[in-house]
Structure 1
Amino acid sequence: MRLDKFLKVSRLIKRRTVAKDVSDQGRVLLNGKEAKPSATIKVGDVLDVQFGQRTLTVKVEKLSESTRKEDVEGMYTVLKEEARKREDDLFS
């Protein structure tokens, strides 16, 4: 499954076009390497997604072409969630 589609179907990101843009900006890492929107995702892969000042690390548990809101829970496991410090805070 494509990275941008997984991000949308798993509801980590609401829209596939936004998922594509985020990947194009280099804000998604697949197993520690920068990933393009067309990168192939498989079960067991680890994704790091940067949302503004927050980074979410998840492990892919299940792939599905489409899901209902209730079924999203089993698609990934959150490994780590961390807030990054702003540049201004580093020099204070």
Structure 2
Amino acid sequence: MLDPADVERAQRLFRVQRRRAMVAVGWLFALVLLLPLGFEVWPQLDSMRVWGIPVSWLAVVVVPFPAMVFLAVWQLRRAERPEDEA
């Protein structure tokens, strides 16, 4: 069981971390939704090729995964910062 002061601190940390997580989730949704939108806006990406592979396919493989790793690391650091300060 936590002391009342610890409960308040834990709730405050939870709220801060939840807000920060929502920002990261928003960026993730933007990444997932904007990639297909980009293919719709620029259909010529299907006909452009690098090493014989359509640029749109390369974008599906190369862009999301490093971006998700970056978002995960970024979010982890942002989530830990309030704990270190408190």
> Shorter chain as normaliser: what TM range?
under 0.3
- Which structure has the highest strand share of the two? 1
TM-score (norm 2): 0.23
TM-score (norm 1): 0.22
Structure 1 or 2, whichever has the larger Rg, is: 2
Which structure ranks higher in relative contact order (CA pairs < 8 Å, sequence separation ≥ 6)?
Answer: 2
